[in-house]
């Protein structure tokens, strides 16, 4: 029912996390398509090469209201369209079909195509906003013709003066919904890790991250996207330099703990982080509806004492173990919401909306992929909404979860040093610390998840352009205001 993120095992890991890509073909056979509709063959005489895709067991394609939705699994990546080997297109009363090869057809509803026209009259090339009124499209709109052209599918619509839309082939593949195709973004691979990450923790140099060309900044954020955390070495051990580093990503997310924090064990804020106590592996802000995306820490000093080591655990790695070894527990952690609160300050009492909270393991409702871990057993509120028959099972499930979290195979302990900043994806990697004594000064900040993902998307357009950007950059009026109007994110 739920799927682990697309992962590649880190060499030397004790366990290989396999991501099974079931290929599902909705493709109606070519003969069926050719019988029922007008066919337009590409201008070139040459037919498309016949590429057959292994069609292994297909996930159930339908889901009833009572069952959890089955998620479209992605057909493996199609090759880019070549000008001398254009797709076959056909249309019937409702849809245009595009034959990528004899086994893989995509079907697009006429109304869907018209709604997604990106000509300058329908789509503002600078603001990337829709300009025309979707609701003026006749429900039964049918194109005058749909043709295969070198740079895409050309559709001519009936109107006073004919309206022509062009849909680049790579864009049609990326946005194919029947069947889903090419959904994974180029930089979208995650590498799950256990304690062995200590052999080569992802690290970038401060001067690279601060360099104006943003290449080092991209490397830093790409590390975070891939591993869920990254160190930055060579940072001046001052709050000012740390704050400046944080704002290289985006503006800091201010909370009841302030904007940029510079804290020690003086209970200046009503939270055990402001004590010398050990903190078990947790994610922050489980009491917010939207927990912060990133969390930066920089140990500025620790004198007259010992301890205060930092703990990191890859929540996605531990979840993949739970999924394999304890599937029932995984399912309960994915279904039962957990309430939380931050109530240590007289002036604030935070609880998420809805107050019942969110499950420990959060999934993408379309793909079924694990996208968020929310776990802080210290901040957890009363479990007063759980059905009686699940109480003991849920406690068994969190006991197994905790056992996996605290396993030596999962834990990565590191003693932070002044000059090394760590940034953690708070939706994936749990952090904690050992107890300590003496004077310990830590500074850092939260960055919002949307801000982090926005910066990564902008940098990825620049340093790792995807197939759509690469294949459409020569189409006139496509690259405006530094952004491709066909970007996969729009
Ligand atoms: C602001 N600073 C990061 C120092 C402390 C945040 C408090 C941590 C809180 N118990 C939580 O889990 O969200
Ligand atoms: O003091 C530390 O090393 C980390 C504290 C912590 O876990 C937090 O502030 O969320």
> Is the minimum distance from the CB of 410 to ligand 2 under 6 angstroms?
no
* Nearest atom of ligand 2 to the alpha carbon of 442: 1
Question: Could you give the percent of the chain with pLDDT greater than 90?
Answer: 73
The more confident residue out of 379 and 101 is 379
- Closest-lying ligand to the alpha carbon of 285? 1
> Nearest C-alpha to atom 1 of ligand 2 is from which residue?
273
Classify residue 199 as exposed, middle or buried by CB count within 10 Å of its CB (0-12, 13-18, 19+): exposed
Q: pTM (2 decimals)?
A: 0.86
- Closest-lying ligand to the alpha carbon of 277? 2
Classify residue 117 as exposed, middle or buried by CB count within 10 Å of its CB (0-12, 13-18, 19+): buried
3 state SS of 233: strand
pLDDT tens digits, one per residue of 281-337: 999 999 999 999 999 999 999 999 999 999 999 999 999 999 999 999 999 999 999
DSSP conformational letter for 66: S
* Nearest atom of ligand 2 to the alpha carbon of 279: 7
Kindly give the distance from the C-alpha atom of residue 429 to the centroid of ligand 2, in angstroms, as a whole number: 13
> Nearest C-alpha to atom 11 of ligand 1 is from which residue?
284
Whether ipTM > 0.90 holds is: yes
**CA 239 to CA 259: how far, in whole Å?**
12
Kindly give the distance from the C-alpha atom of residue 301 to the centroid of ligand 2, in angstroms, as a whole number: 14
124 has which bridge partners? 129
* Nearest atom of ligand 2 to the alpha carbon of 299: 3
> Is the minimum distance from the CB of 376 to ligand 2 under 6 angstroms?
no
What is the mean pLDDT of the segment spanning 234-254?
98
Are 221 and 403 a contacting pair, CB within 8 Å?
no
149 has which bridge partners? 152
**CA 348 to CA 278: how far, in whole Å?**
24
Task: State the pLDDT at residue 334.
Answer: 98
What is the mean pLDDT of the segment spanning 88-108?
93
296 has which bridge partners? 423, 445
All residues at 6 or more sequence positions from 32 whose CB lies less than 8 Å from its CB, including other chains: none
> Nearest C-alpha to atom 5 of ligand 2 is from which residue?
273
> Nearest C-alpha to atom 9 of ligand 2 is from which residue?
273
Residues with CB under 6 A from ligand 1: 257, 261, 263, 271, 273, 282, 284-285, 376, 379
Is a pLDDT exceeding 60 seen at residue 48?
Answer: no
Kindly give the distance from the C-alpha atom of residue 79 to the centroid of ligand 2, in angstroms, as a whole number: 47
Task: State the pLDDT at residue 422.
Answer: 98
Task: State the pLDDT at residue 188.
Answer: 66
* Pairing mode, strands 252-253 and 439-447: antiparallel
Helices within 37-107 (DSSP H only): none
Tokens 């300058």 label which residue? 120
């Amino acid at each position: 029912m739920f799927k682990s993120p697309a992962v590649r095992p880190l060499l030397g890991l004790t366990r290989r996390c396999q991501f099974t890509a079931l290929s599902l073909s909705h493709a109606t056979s070519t003969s069926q398509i050719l019988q029922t509709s007008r066919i337009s063959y590409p201008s070139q005489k040459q037919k498309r090469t016949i590429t057959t895709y292994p069609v292994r067991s297909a996930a159930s394609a339908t889901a009833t209201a009572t069952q959890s939705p089955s998620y479209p699994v992605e057909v493996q990546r199609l090759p880019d369209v070549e000008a001398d080997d254009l797709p076959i297109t056909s249309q019937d009363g409702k849809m245009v079909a595009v034959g990528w090869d004899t086994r893989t057809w995509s079907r697009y509803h006429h109304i869907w195509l018209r709604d997604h026209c990106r000509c300058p009259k329908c789509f503002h090339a600078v603001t990337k906003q829709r300009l025309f009124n979707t609701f003026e499209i006749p429900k039964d709109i049918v194109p005058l013709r749909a043709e295969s052209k070198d740079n895409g599918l050309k559709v001519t619509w009936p109107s006073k003066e004919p309206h022509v839309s062009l849909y680049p082939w790579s864009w049609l593949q990326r946005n194919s919904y029947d069947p889903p195709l090419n959904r994974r973004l180029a930089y979208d691979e995650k590498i799950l890790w256990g304690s062995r990450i200590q052999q080569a923790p992802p690290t970038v140099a401060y001067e690279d991250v601060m360099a104006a060309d943003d290449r080092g900044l991209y490397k830093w954020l790409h590390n975070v996207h891939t591993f869920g955390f990254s160190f930055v070495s060579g940072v001046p051990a001052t709050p000012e330099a740390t704050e400046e580093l944080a704002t290289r990503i985006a503006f800091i997310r201010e909370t009841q703990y302030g904007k940029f924090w510079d804290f020690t064990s003086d209970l200046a804020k009503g939270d055990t982080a402001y004590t010398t106590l050990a903190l078990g592996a947790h994610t922050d802000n489980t009491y917010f509806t939207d927990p912060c995306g990133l969390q930066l820490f920089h140990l500025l000093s620790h004198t007259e004492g010992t301890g205060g080591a930092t703990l990191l655990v890859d929540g996605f790695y531990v979840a993949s173990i739970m999924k394999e070894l304890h599937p029932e527990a995984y399912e309960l952690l994915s279904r039962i919401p957990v309430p939380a609160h931050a109530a240590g300050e007289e002036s604030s009492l935070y609880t998420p909306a809805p107050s019942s909270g969110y499950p420990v393991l959060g999934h993408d409702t379309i793909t079924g992929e694990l996208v968020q871990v929310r776990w802080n057993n210290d901040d957890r509120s009363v479990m007063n909404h759980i059905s009686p028959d699940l109480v003991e099972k849920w406690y068994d499930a969190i006991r197994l979860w905790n056992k996996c979290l605290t396993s030596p195979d999962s834990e990565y302990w590191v003693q932070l040093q002044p000059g090394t900043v760590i940034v953690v994806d708070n939706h994936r990697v749990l952090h904690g610390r050992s107890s300590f004594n003496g004077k310990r000064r830590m500074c850092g900040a939260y960055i919002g998840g949307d801000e982090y993902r926005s910066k990564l998307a902008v940098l990825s357009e620049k340093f790792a352009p995807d197939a759509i950007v690469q294949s459409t950059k020569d189409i006139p009026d496509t690259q405006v205001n530094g952004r491709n109007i066909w970007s996969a994110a729009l």
